[in-house]
Chains A and B, each alone.
Chain A
Amino acid sequence: MFLLHFDGLILAVSFSSFFLFMVGHILALRMTPVNQTARVMVGAIALGFLINISAFIFIALAGFSKAGIRIPQLIFGAGISSVLYALLVFNYVGWIFGMGIAAIRIRLLLLLMNTPAHRATREQILTQCNAGDILRIRLARLVGSGHLILDGDSYRFHSKVLTVQAWITAGLSALLGIPLKR
């Protein structure tokens, strides 16, 4: 009965798509090498969108009109369900997978956890986690995900996504009246 409720249907489809995205990307990440991470994530996200839209097409074909739901409503529902799915993925990537600004902090916590007695001096920490290291890893990730191009030994910027991200950050900084740290 719950699924016949349109509100519940939208939530069920978006959360099911997200669940399948979770299962799909975890399985794919476990089976692929590290340098395929960006490709796996993009593929899993696209698969989730396809599942989301397919669910509504299936519902339309299955004669949901008998329950009083019309085609424009189904299209609208598919749109809202896709937005919810996109937000779920965005929050997952932002908070868990990418860890946002916490990435280095989590790395420091893991570093301390893996040292004897779970403690280390400042020098020991900097031996294993320093600015040069962080830069090397980030450059590899940015090149791997196609945001930068390595031309000889020179890195060049090549990303519409990160350009948009930079605009959003600049806009938000202006709105909140907080200067960006540069």
Chain B
Amino acid sequence: MNYIAEAFGFFVLVVLSHALACRRGWILFQMEWFLALCLVWGGLYFALLRLAPVPLICSGSSNFGRSMPLVFTSFVLYGLLCLAYLVQCTAIQVQSPSMKVVSLLRGGPGMTRDQLRRHFSDEEFVLSRLRDLVRTGYVNHDSEFFSLTPKGFQVARVFDAYQRLIRRNMES
């Protein structure tokens, strides 16, 4: 129990330090910086476990916590919570079409597709994403053509294979 509480505690520290860093403008959603933050807190957690192998937080019961030294479980839990938090953060970074539909329809009487369409532009949902792919090195852009870089081609092949595996075009 104690190990699990500690894993949650260190996850809360990751969230709070990420919030502080965002509010100060030090980092926003750069994945490498966020993962570095997770590693720093994970390293501190590991060091504390080494220095104080008995759980830091008292459970109150006799030895319920000590009898279950869930070291690996707590580390996996910590890692998965950090990844899940990062998934949630991406919803703030870029507006997804689904969440845009939700924000337009929530609390309202309903809208037709044509009414919804007026809030959807190629610039917001296609061209900005295309520019982002160019900026991050997945797509090249010369004066006329957009083309895949080797990195972009690799990612496309992986997702193509995955779509073939599940026999679904995930966007359709």
Chain A residues with CB under 8 Å of chain B are 6-8, 10-11, 25-26, 29-30, 34, 37, 72-73, 76-77, 80, 83-84, 87-88, 90-91, 94-101, 103-110, 112-113, 117-122, 125-126, 129-132, 134-139, 141-142, 147-148, 151, 153-157, 159, 162-163, 165-166, 168-169, 172-173, 175-178, 180-182
- Interface SS majority for chain B: helix
16 further A-B pairs in the complex, CB-CB below 8 A; given A131-B125, A135-B116 = A7-B72, A72-B64, A73-B68, A87-B80, A104-B97, A104-B125, A105-B138, A106-B156, A112-B152, A125-B130, A134-B120, A135-B97, A153-B112, A165-B99, A169-B92, A180-B92
Complex Cα gap A151–B98 (Å): 18
Per-residue CB contact flags for chain B residues 157-172 toward chain A (1 = under 8 Å, else 0) read 1011011011111111
**When the two chains form the complex, which single residue of A26, A95, A139, A153 contacts B166, counting CB atoms closer than 8 Å?**
A26
Query: Which chain B residues have a beta carbon within 8 Å of chain A's beta carbons?
Result: 1, 4, 15, 18-19, 22-23, 28, 64, 67-73, 76-77, 80-81, 83-84, 87-103, 105-113, 116-117, 120-122, 124-127, 129-130, 132-133, 138-139, 144-148, 152-153, 155-157, 159-160, 162-163, 165-172
Classify the secondary structure of A's interface with B: helix
